[in-house]
Structure 1
Amino acid sequence: MMQINGKGKILRIYIGETDKWAKKPLYHELIKMFKKNDMAGATVFRGIEGFGLNSRIKSSHILQLSEDLPLVIETIDTEEKIENILPKVKEMVKEGLVTIENVEVIKYEAEK
């Protein structure tokens, strides 16, 4: 059973829904890479509205329906594991924003 207690890191990646890696959705390929590297877990969040470097507002409003909504992918793990995957993340994310923050893990465990 995997446990994380105390200090950790959260890696956040801000990209667009249509971003690709090897002709496949980037968010899905990032999740697969996290799984392959035994990260504690990861989640993809779809934004309903946002803008990035190009300042184009992307929205899920019915009149402005965007096919490239903003996504945020998060994974939390130990500093060592986050640092180990960072070179691959930098390689895969051609456009977007990547951040790392300190977190305090209060509880991370699964029932047996």
Structure 2
Amino acid sequence: MTVPTRRALRLTVFLGESDTWHHKPLYAELVHRAHAAGLAGASVFRGIEGFGASSVIHTSRLLSLGEELPVAVVIVDAEDRVRAFLPRIEELLTGGLAVLDACEVLTPGTPAPPGDPERHPGEPGSGR
């Protein structure tokens, strides 16, 4: 049995853990805006080592740099919903890196209607 999938868009924003927006962690602001926009979900991942535009390596192994670890905020939803969200965060993306990736979301237990254009060829009910 093939698990049904849906096409989606993944927005990943890479930033520093100490980046802020109006005295609030920037990653938290991104998550709260995604929630307010009604997006499907957002998660924050704290890195253990990395570097960005500054070329300075930040790592959890060095006490002096341990508080500026890399952070990734990942948001996944339908492409049109993610693209509609981008203008709501444009002002926040001044120092980080934002990446958009096409992806597939597994939707077990949620069969798509027959002929659904979101289904991929060869999936049950795709008609191809």
TM-score bracket, shorter-length normalisation: 0.7 to 0.9
Give the secondary structure class of the aligned counterpart of 1:90: helix
State which drifts further: 9-18 or 79-88: 79-88
Q: Per the alignment, do residues 69 and 78 of structure 1 end up closer, same or farther by CA in structure 2, a change over 3 Å counting?
A: same
Whose Rg is larger?
2
- Secondary structure, counterpart of 2:74 in structure 1: strand
Aligned to 1:15: 15
After TM superposition, list the pairs within 5 Å mapping 1:69-108 onto structure 2: 69-107=69-107
Displacement of 1:88 after TM fit?
Answer: 2.0
Gaps of 5+ in 1: none
CA RMSD, Structure 1 to Structure 2 (Å): 1.6
By relative contact order (CA 8 Å, sep 6+), the higher-ranking structure is: 1
Aligned partner of 2:47: which letter?
G
TM-score, normalised by the number of residues in structure 2 = 0.76
Per the normalisation by structure 1, the TM-score is 0.86
Question: What's the CA shift for 1:79?
Answer: 0.7
The answer for the alignment partner of 1:6 in structure 2 is 6
> Can you list the C-alpha shifts for 1:9-33, whole angstroms capped at 9, x where unaligned?
0000000001111121100011000
- Give SS of 1:27's match: helix
Percentage of identical aligned residues? 38
- Cα distance, 1:107–1:32 mapped onto 2, change above 3 Å: same
